[in-house]
Chain A
Amino acid sequence: MTLLSIEGVSRKFGNVTALEDVSIDIKQGEFFALLGPSGCGKTTLLRILAGFETPDQGGVRLDGADLLKFAPHKRPVNLMFQSYALFPHMTVAKNVAYGLERENLPRAEIKARVGEVLEKVGLDSMASRRPAQMSGGQQQRVALARAIVKRPRLLLLDEPLSALDKKVRAEMQLELKRLQNEVGITFVVVTHDQEEAMSLADRIAVMDQGRVEQIDAPVTLYDRPRTYFVADFIGANNLFTGAIRGGVFSADGLGPLPSKATTADAPAALAIRPERVRLTEPAPGMVQGVVVDVSFYGGVSHIAVEVRGLGRKLLAATQGSARITPGTVVGVTWRPEDAVLIPN
Chain B
Amino acid sequence: MSRGRGSFLARLIFLGPGLIMLTLLAVVPMLLMLSTMFFQRGRFGGVVYEFTTANFSRLFQPLYLNVIQDSLVVAGVVTVLALLIGYPTAYAIALLPAKWKTIALLAIMLPFWTNFLIRMYAWTILLSGPGLVNESLTGIGLIDEPLELLYNRGTVVVGLLYGYLSLMILPIYSAVERLDPRLREASANLGASPIRTFFSVTLPLTLPSALIGAVLVFVPSFGNFVVPEILGGGKAIMVGNLIRDQFLKARDWPFGATLALAMIVVTLVLLLAQSIVSRRTRSA
Comparing A54-62, A71-79, A170-178, A197-205, the segment that makes contact with chain B is: A71-79
Whether A85 contacts B191 by the Cβ 8 Å rule is: no
Asked if B182 is at the interface (CB within 8 A of a chain A CB), the reply is yes
- Residues in A with CB closer than 8 Å to B180 are 83, 85
How many Å from the CB of B184 to the closest CB on chain A? 9
- Residues in A with CB closer than 8 Å to B201 are 87
Asked if A103 is at the interface (CB within 8 A of a chain B CB), the reply is yes
| Alpha-carbon separation in the docked complex, A111 to B191 (Å) | 18
Asked if B57 is at the interface (CB within 8 A of a chain A CB), the reply is no
| Alpha-carbon separation in the docked complex, A28 to B239 (Å) | 71
Asked if A89 is at the interface (CB within 8 A of a chain B CB), the reply is yes
Count A-side interface residues using an 8 Å CB cutoff. 24
Comparing B104-112, B138-146, B276-284, the segment that makes contact with chain A is: B276-284
Whether A87 contacts B183 by the Cβ 8 Å rule is: yes
Whether B187 contacts A98 by the Cβ 8 Å rule is: yes
Tell me what chain B mostly uses at the interface: helix, strand, loop, or mixed: helix
The residue on A at minimum CB distance from B282 is A89
Whether A52 contacts B281 by the Cβ 8 Å rule is: no
- Residues in B with CB closer than 8 Å to A276 are none
- Residues in A with CB closer than 8 Å to B192 are 73, 98, 102
How many Å from the CB of A133 to the closest CB on chain B? 11
Asked if B233 is at the interface (CB within 8 A of a chain A CB), the reply is no
- Residues in B with CB closer than 8 Å to A72 are 185, 188-189
- Residues in A with CB closer than 8 Å to B196 are 102
Whether A150 contacts B182 by the Cβ 8 Å rule is: no
Asked if B80 is at the interface (CB within 8 A of a chain A CB), the reply is no
Q: A89-B281, A89-B282, A150-B190 are in contact. Are A83 and B182 (CB under 8 A)?
A: yes
Whether A85 contacts B188 by the Cβ 8 Å rule is: no
Whether B193 contacts A73 by the Cβ 8 Å rule is: yes
Interface residues of A in 48-99 (CB under 8 A from B): 50-52, 71-74, 77-79, 81, 83, 85-89, 98-99
Asked if A146 is at the interface (CB within 8 A of a chain B CB), the reply is yes
Asked if A151 is at the interface (CB within 8 A of a chain B CB), the reply is no
- Residues in A with CB closer than 8 Å to B220 are none
| Alpha-carbon separation in the docked complex, A150 to B197 (Å) | 17
Asked if A260 is at the interface (CB within 8 A of a chain B CB), the reply is no
The residue on A at minimum CB distance from B193 is A73
| Alpha-carbon separation in the docked complex, A78 to B196 (Å) | 17
Asked if B265 is at the interface (CB within 8 A of a chain A CB), the reply is no
How many Å from the CB of B192 to the closest CB on chain A? 5
A-B contact pairs, 7 of them (CB 8 A): A51-B189, A52-B188, A73-B189, A85-B182, A85-B183, A87-B201, A98-B190
In the complex, given contacts A85-B186, A87-B201, A98-B200, what are 6 additional A-B residue pairs having Cβ atoms less than 8 angstroms apart? A79-B185, A81-B186, A83-B180, A87-B187, A89-B283, A150-B191
Report the 9 A-B pairs with minimum CB-CB distance, sorted nearest first: A99-B190, A102-B191, A85-B186, A85-B182, A72-B188, A73-B188, A79-B189, A102-B192, A89-B204
